[in-house]
Amino acid sequence: MKSKIVLILLIIFLKSSSCISQDFWEEVIIPDSISPAYISFNNNSELYLTSSNGLYKSSDGGSSWNLLINCMSGLSVLNRGQDEIFVGIDSFGKLFHSLDDGMTWDTISTEIVGGWLVMINDTILFCRDWGAIYKSIDIGYSWDTVLATSNTEIFNDIIKKDTLLFSGSTAFLNPQGGGINQSLNGGNSWQQISLPGYGVSSFDLDQDGNLLCGVNFQYNYEAFGVFRSTDDGFIWENILPGYIVTSLAVDINGGIYAGCDSDFGPEGIQYSSDNGMTWSDLNNGLHDDASIKTLTFSPDGYVYCITKSPFILYRSINPIVQINEKPPIVNSIIIYPNPFQNKFMIHFNEKLAGSEKIHVRLVNIRGITIFDENLKPSTNEMITVSQPNLNEGLYILLVMINDKLFSSTLIKN
* Of the residues 316, 342, 371, the one at which a domain ends: 316
pLDDT given for residue 321 in this prediction:
54
Domain of residue 368, CATH code: 2.60.40.3080
pLDDT given for residue 4 in this prediction:
34
- Can you give the residue range of the structural domain that contains 373? 330-412
> Is 32 a member of any domain?
yes
Asked if residue 356 and residue 297 are part of one domain, the reply reads no
Answer yes or no: are the C-beta atoms of 279 and 270 closer than 8 Å.
yes
pLDDT given for residue 398 in this prediction:
82
Per the structure, how many domains does the chain have?
A: 2
Asked if residue 112 and residue 42 are part of one domain, the reply reads yes
Does a cis peptide bond (omega within 30 degrees of 0) precede residue 31?
Answer: no
> Is 1 a member of any domain?
no
Per-residue pLDDT of the chain (413 residues; tens, 9 = 90+): 333 333 322 222 223 333 334 789 999 999 877 889 999 998 788 999 999 889 999 999 888 999 999 888 789 999 987 789 999 999 999 999 999 999 999 999 999 999 999 999 888 999 999 999 999 999 999 999 999 999 899 999 999 999 999 999 999 999 999 999 999 999 999 999 999 999 999 999 998 899 999 999 999 888 999 999 999 999 999 999 999 999 999 987 788 999 999 877 788 999 998 999 999 999 999 999 999 999 999 888 889 999 998 999 999 988 875 333 333 444 467 788 888 888 888 887 666 555 566 888 887 765 677 788 887 766 557 788 888 878 777 788 888 876 677 777 788 87
Asked if residue 355 and residue 307 are part of one domain, the reply reads no
Domain of residue 63, CATH code: 2.130.10.10
Asked if residue 219 and residue 135 are part of one domain, the reply reads yes
> Is 7 a member of any domain?
no
Asked if residue 186 and residue 283 are part of one domain, the reply reads yes
pLDDT given for residue 329 in this prediction:
40
> Is 97 a member of any domain?
yes
- Between vectors from CA 229 to CA 302 and to CA 396, what angle results, nearest 5°? 30
Asked if residue 188 and residue 62 are part of one domain, the reply reads yes
How are strands ordered across the β-sheet holding 393-401? 369-375, 358-364, 393-401, 404-412
Asked if residue 302 and residue 390 are part of one domain, the reply reads no
* Of the residues 316, 341, 370, the one at which a domain ends: 316
SS3 330: helix
Asked if residue 254 and residue 153 are part of one domain, the reply reads yes
Asked if residue 377 and residue 253 are part of one domain, the reply reads no
* Of the residues 274, 294, 316, the one at which a domain ends: 316
Other Cβ atoms closer than 10 A to 267: 21
What separation, in Å, do the N-terminal and C-terminal C-alpha atoms of the chain show? 11
pLDDT given for residue 379 in this prediction:
56
Asked if residue 337 and residue 296 are part of one domain, the reply reads no
Query: What's phi and psi for 194, nearest 5 deg?
Result: -170, 170
> Is 153 a member of any domain?
yes
